[in-house]
Each structure stands twice: as structure tokens, then as C-alpha cells.
Amino acid sequence: MACAVQVFTRSAVLALVLTSPSQAAPTETFEAARAAAQTEQPGSRLAFASFSEFHMLTRRWTVLAFYVHWREVQEAAARRRVPIWEVERTRGQSDGETTVDWASSATCPALADRLGQLRALPAPAIQVPGLERPNDTVSVSLDGVGYRLWVRYAQYAGGGGEGSLQLSGNVGSPLASWASATELAMAPCWRPALSQP
């Protein structure tokens, strides 16, 4: 049975309330790019994860789609398969212009590290109205930067409940921190197309 989790931080909800509907609504191009990152692509490409970032005031956005393929390498008397991770980055501007570029762990070691950090993101605590804890606070974000992580394969601790996973957050969330660190670490890695192996 598939398990799907969608999380909206209270700051994200408040940001949506405090921005006008025209500012909060993502563009059709953004939605199309995000949907494409979660569906099978030509050549039997199937993303195992996607990450999106949308700036509600400036309407700038980024969608990352992550893929993996396997390469056999010879080590001593044995052969083993090693993963090669690839990421497609689609970026859009308020004027409708979009750009697409790529990075590969074969030439960018930072990608493997960032995927390791993605896997280690902490799970948010489930909030139940009326059962708030003493230290719970409400933060208001007027910038309205929305982040969304989607993972095709997820699993609860202990090995049960395999399924997909979706998390959403705003500024100040672990998703925002991951996005900022990833943008910095991978800045030198992006190319217009992947080089052939």
C-alpha cells in the first residue's frame, strides 16, 4: 500500500494567506515542469525524486529532477555496479523564459553529497490542533518562497510502509536550507547537456 505524506509548515500557510491569489498561484509552466519531473520521460527516464522552489513575489522558480543509471566497473576479479546520478534543472522567470541544464555525479562529486544530505533531511513533527507543545511557535513569512520535495521511493524506519513521499515547506525549513546549500555547492557543475559516457 502506498503511503503519501504532504506537509505544509504554518509559516507556509500564513505566507499564502498574506500574499494575493495572483502572486501565490504558480504559473502553468512551473506546474508543467514539476509534473514532468515526476513522470516517465522519453528514453525510459524515470526520476526517483524531484525538488521545486517557487518565489511567490518575483515568480522565479526552479525544478530539479533526479535520475540514476548504473555503470559496471571491474575491481580485481569481480565486477560491480556503481550508481551515476544525474539531475536536470529547469528554471523559469516571471517573463515566461525558461532554461534547462544538467549535472552528473560522474563530473560533479557535490551531487552525491547533496543527495546524501537530501536523504538525511529530518521528518517534520505532525501537528494536531489542541495538542500543541509548549515550545511550538508560529512564524510569519512575507517572502513566500515555497519548497516541495517529492520522492518516488520512501520507507518508514524498520522497513515497513514503502511508498512515495512529499514534503512542503517555506523559508526557515530544512528544505530551504538544503536548497540554499545545494545551489552553492553545485554552482560550477551545470552544463547545457550531459556529456556522453
Which pLDDT score, from 0 to 100, does residue 14 have?
30
Please report the pLDDT score of residue 16 as a whole number.
Answer: 36
Which pLDDT belongs to residue 172? 87
Maximal CA-CA distance, the chain? 64
Q: Which residues contact 24 (CB under 8 A, 6 or more apart)?
A: 16, 56, 144
137 falls within a domain: no
Q: In this structure, is residue 131 part of a structural domain?
A: no
pLDDT (tens, 9 = 90+) of the chain, 197 residues, equals: 334 444 333 333 333 333 344 443 447 888 889 998 888 765 667 899 999 999 988 889 999 999 998 888 877 777 888 899 999 999 998 777 899 999 999 999 999 999 999 999 998 888 888 887 766 665 555 558 999 999 998 888 777 767 889 999 998 899 999 999 999 999 999 999 987 65
Which pLDDT value is given to residue 5? Answer: 41
Residue 135 domain-assigned (yes or no): no
Q: Which of 131, 62, 117, 64 is nearest to 92 (CA)?
A: 62
> Would residue 129 count as lying in a domain?
no
DSSP letter string, 49-113: EEEEEEETTT--EEEEEEEEEEEEEEETTEEEEEEEEEEEEEEE-TTS-EEEEEEETTT-HHHHH
Q: How far apart are CA 124 and CA 129, in angstroms?
A: 15
* Residue 94 belongs to some domain of the structure: yes
Check residue 68 and give its pLDDT: 93
Q: Assess if residue 103 is contained within a domain.
A: yes
pLDDT at position 135: 67
Cell numbers placing 25: 498561484
The three cell numbers of residue 15 are 505566507
Q: Say if 52 falls within a structural domain.
A: yes
Residue 128 CA: distances (Å) to CA of 125, 156, 188: 10, 21, 43
Domain membership flag for residue 192: no
How confident is the model at residue 43, as a pLDDT?
67
Range of the domain at 59: 10-119+142-185
Total domains, the chain = 1
Q: What pLDDT does 11 receive?
A: 36
